[in-house]
Amino acid sequence: MAVAEVRITLKKGVADPEGKNTLKALGLLGFEGVRDVRSVKVFVIETEGEAGEAKRSVEEMCRKLLANPVIHNYSIRIK
């Protein structure tokens, strides 16, 4: 069995309203020195089979469902 951790991040130049709103709210709560907040989505996927195979199939999952290439980058870490 392999466990893959998939991180879906927004591409550079794509607005991140969730991150920006969180940044604003943290400021309102009195947290100082917060420079930026970015939102990231993480999926943890357990698969059968060995690591190399898992990597390939999770790549395919990212391409077909988990990420939209217009705004997303993804990275995969096999644990």
Partner 1 sequence: MKVSDARVCVLRIEGTNCEEESYLSFKRLGAKPEKVHLKQLTGTDVTSDEKRSLADYQVLVLPGGFSSGDYVRAGAIFAARIKSRLSRDMVEFVRAGKPVLGICNGFQILVETGLLPAMSGIMTEVPEAVLSTNDSARFECRPTLLRKVNRGSCAFTTKIPRNKISAIPSAHAEGKLMFPVDRSKSIVKELADNDQLVFKYVNPEGELAGYPWCPNGSTENIAGICNREGNVFGLMPHPERVFFRYTHPDWTRNPEGAGDGKAVFESVLDYVSKKL
Is 69 an interacting residue with respect to partner 1 (CB under 8 A)?
yes
The residue among 29 and 65 lying less far from partner 1, judged by its C-beta, is 65
The pattern of x and - marking residues 16 through 55 that bind partner 1 according to CB under 8 A reads -xx-xx----------------------------------
Q: Nearest 5°: phi and psi at 72?
A: -110, 145
Q: Which of 15, 28, 29, 44 binds partner 1 (CB under 8 A)?
A: 15
DSSP notation for 19-73: HHHHHHHHHHTT--S-------EEEEEEESS-HHHHHHHHHHHIIIII--TTTEE
Is 11 an interacting residue with respect to partner 1 (CB under 8 A)?
yes
